[in-house]
Amino acid sequence: MKNYNSIKEKIINSWLLKDKLFWSLFPIIFIFDQITKYLVYKNLSLGESIPENFIIRITYARNTGTAFSLFSSYGDLLLYISIFVAIFFTVYFILIEKPKLSMRIFISLVVAGALGNIVDRLRFGYVNDFIDVGFWPIFNIADSSISIALTIYFVDLIFFDRKKNEN
* In contact, 104 and 90? CB cutoff 8 Å: no
- Report the amino acid identity of residue 31: I
* In contact, 62 and 128? CB cutoff 8 Å: yes
- Predicted TM-score (pTM) of the model is 0.82
Q: Would you give per-residue pLDDT tens digits along the chain (167 residues)?
A: 667 677 777 777 777 778 899 999 999 999 999 999 999 999 999 999 999 889 999 999 998 876 555 556 656 777 788 888 888 877 877 777 778 899 899 989 999 999 999 999 899 989 999 999 988 889 999 999 999 999 999 999 888 876 555 54
Q: How far apart are CA 15 and CA 93, in angstroms?
A: 9
* In contact, 33 and 128? CB cutoff 8 Å: no
Is there a catalytic annotation at residue 143? yes
Domains of the chain: total: 1
* CA neighbor of 69 nearest in space, from 124, 139, 121, 117: 139
- Phi–psi pair at 128, nearest 5 degrees: -80, 125
pLDDT (0 to 100) of residue 97: 77
Is there a catalytic annotation at residue 156? no
Annotated catalytic residue within 129, 132, 156, 161 = 129
The domain in which residue 54 lies consists of: 2-166
